[in-house]
A and B are shown apart, each in its own frame.
Chain A
Amino acid sequence: MLRITEHPILGAPEKGRRVEFTFDGRTMSGCEGEPVAAALKAEGVMIHRYTSKRHEPRGIFCAIGRCTDCVMVVDGVPNIRTCVTPLHEGMDVRTQYGVTDRKDFGEEAR
């Protein structure tokens, strides 16, 4: 479990209500308002995207919206920095392949 329930200095974290969202179609839950990346981390998801050219996996790196490693396709929109995007009920979060959510990196469409 990666969620901290009680912290020696900060006490119990202040969190929003539990909401459900989907990751690549799978139902998961997280706390409303926390960054999507935090909810994914708590659910054990490490890979947010694969790079366009070399198809290498990327995950959270800076957690403050600067590096763009954590971008995903959220509610159909690619390149969303999940570390600074608050989680809402029913969000549709998908692994990003290059700039699409298609495992073939959008090859067929080309």
Chain B
Amino acid sequence: MKRYDLIVIGAGPSGLSAAAEAASKGLRTVVFDENERPGGQLFKQIHKFFGSKEHKAKVRGYNIGKQLLQEAADAGVDVVLNAPVEGLYPDHEVTVRIGDSLRHFKGDAVIAATGASENMAAFKGWTLPGVIGAGAAQTMMNLHGIKPGNKVVMLGSGNVGLVVSYQLLQAGVEVAAVVDALPHVGGYGVHAAKLARTGVPFYLSHTIVEAEGEDRVKGVTIAEIDNKFNFIPGTEKHFDADTICVAVGLSPMSQLLKMAECDVPDDPSKGGQAPRVGAFGETSVKGVFAAGDVSGIEEASSAMIEGRITGLAAAESLGFITKQELEAETAGLENQLASLRRGMFAPGNKGRKITETDEGIALSESLLTQGYVADDEIARFPGVTKQRGIHPVIECTQNIPCNPCQDACRKGCIRIGKDITSLPAVDTDSQCVGCGLCVAACSGQAVFLVDEDYEEGYASVTLPYEFLPLPETGARGTALDRSGAPVCEAEVVEIRTSPAFDHTNLLTMKVPADMAMTARFFRNQKTESEAC
């Protein structure tokens, strides 16, 4: 049996961060992961992440995974892939399937960083081929380059449902609808808005009545539900679709911790059965720690910090650092965690209906029920100002832990302040030069540049564009509003691409002047019939 100072189970953001931190303190550390690629959830994520620079905001998920792996490798961590851990015992013995054999290891300390698994929803026909998990859709398209289908109905409007719907559009799949039983969009408003403006409809307070088809999905019927979850007759809607994607939440994968006899109570605020842990991720069993989604569903940013904290705690438990060093090093990390956990989507706010922002501004009701901020709501947010000449218009209207827009602007036009969850505000005293860095940096694709004085009678609107084919300068098409409805003719006057934009192209279109605050997406004439 091979021994290590520390065994980490799971090479996601929490596991890799924990391993890197512990190894940097001198612990002989190994990480086992069942996948052939490291990064956990991250290696399937192709969007730019929220957070701040320290949390790798605006870096795309798969690149964060690569960076963390490099850091772990540099610190001397052994990362063993294709290695599912099958057993974890109270005496810290770990059994791992490697190739055809089951191998035994022992760690003086063990960190479980196993993440979460997807929940399932049962409805008539849910076992038909063509009903897939959201993670499966991501695996197929982002890892294997295969579209999961041609036309998808998404069940679930949490961040996973929203992000995966957008990734489906990027892969060239049509998204017929996003459906959720809850009365409000569950995920970040900015993720919903970037779908809605391409024309994807939202059906809140709706769920699937039936997946249709004999031996595979051919269509879907949804219907509205009342507050007791009963279908309301007469509200049925049918969609032709070959795929139903289910994104109805994640549950901590705490089985190994249970096997190790850790205390693992049911805790709805953590998304299911999650281990009871102390401030440093220590479970009820000595020397066994938990970090990341397994100890409560959150985000990659908090998973990375939790990982570092438990990595340090493991180092302290084995005498590699002192208690004082542990407390000194984790104090800053604890502060970062606290600031991330302040937003309106923070774990403590789960299930609570929030009606206004921390700044006291009424939330957009339309965003919550239809996925986009209505025309008569947008002006009340501090990112939306009226100015002469080119200036940013920031349609980011909820308190989320994110600030790359502020960092992007060297001219000081965008202010979030020290509290990372504050709404971005546009400073009208600073002069915007139209460089577009803020548009490309925004993880939520919520920043636009507007110039109402572009030409006599015309305004220009610059928007982030991450689809193919990329329209060419001079292309004519239709401008869509925030709801995805066509509102006017538009002409592409500039396309900007740059390595600094990391695959976010900036499309500038010319629209009639009165459409400056309405037009938010461009649809090419030729691709009129296509998804986006």
Contact = CB atoms under 8 A, between A and B. Distances in A.
Contact of B130 (A46, A62, A66): A46
B331 interface: no
B171 A41 contact: no
Given A4-B141, A8-B468, A42 B216 contact: no
Contact of A47 (B117, B129, B135, B144): B129
Given A8-B466, A47-B215, A3 B129 contact: no
Interface stretch (B1-9, B145-153, B393-401): B145-153
Nearest to B214: A57
A33 B437 CA distance: 39
Interface stretch (A9-17, A18-26, A73-81): A9-17
Interface residues of B, number: 37
Contacts of B133: 61-63
Nearest to A65: B34
Contacts of B467: 8
A4 B169 CA distance: 12
A47 B216 contact: yes
Interface in B206-248: 215-216
Interface string B137-164: 1011110111111100000000000000
A59 interface: yes
Interface residues of A, number: 31
Contacts of B117: 66
A42 B146 contact: yes
Contact of B146 (A41, A57, A58, A66): A41
Interface in B124-140: 127-133, 135-137, 139-140
A71 interface: no
Nearest to B133: A62
Nearest to B171: A4
A57 B128 contact: yes
Interface string A24-39: 0000000000110010
A13 B216 contact: no
B144 A13 contact: yes
Interface of A: 2-4, 6-10, 13, 15, 34-35, 38, 41-42, 46-48, 56-66, 69, 83
A56 B139 CA distance: 25
B170 A7 contact: yes
Interface of B: 34-35, 46, 60, 117-118, 127-133, 135-137, 139-142, 144-150, 170-172, 215-216, 466-468, 470, 503
Contact of B216 (A10, A59, A61, A64): A59
Nearest to B34: A65
Contacts of A48: 129
B260 to A, nearest CB: 21
Given A41-B148, A57-B129, A9 B140 contact: no
Contacts of B145: 3-4, 7, 10, 13, 15, 38
5 contacts: A41-B146, A42-B146, A57-B128, A60-B129, A66-B117
A39 to B, nearest CB: 8
A34 B143 CA distance: 9
A4 B503 CA distance: 17
Contacts of B139: 63-64, 83
Nearest to A39: B146
Contacts of A41: 140, 146, 148
Contact of A4 (B135, B172, B215): B172
Given A34-B144, A47-B129, A63-B137, 13 more contacts: A3-B146, A4-B141, A10-B142, A38-B140, A46-B130, A46-B216, A47-B216, A59-B129, A61-B133, A62-B135, A63-B132, A63-B136, A63-B140
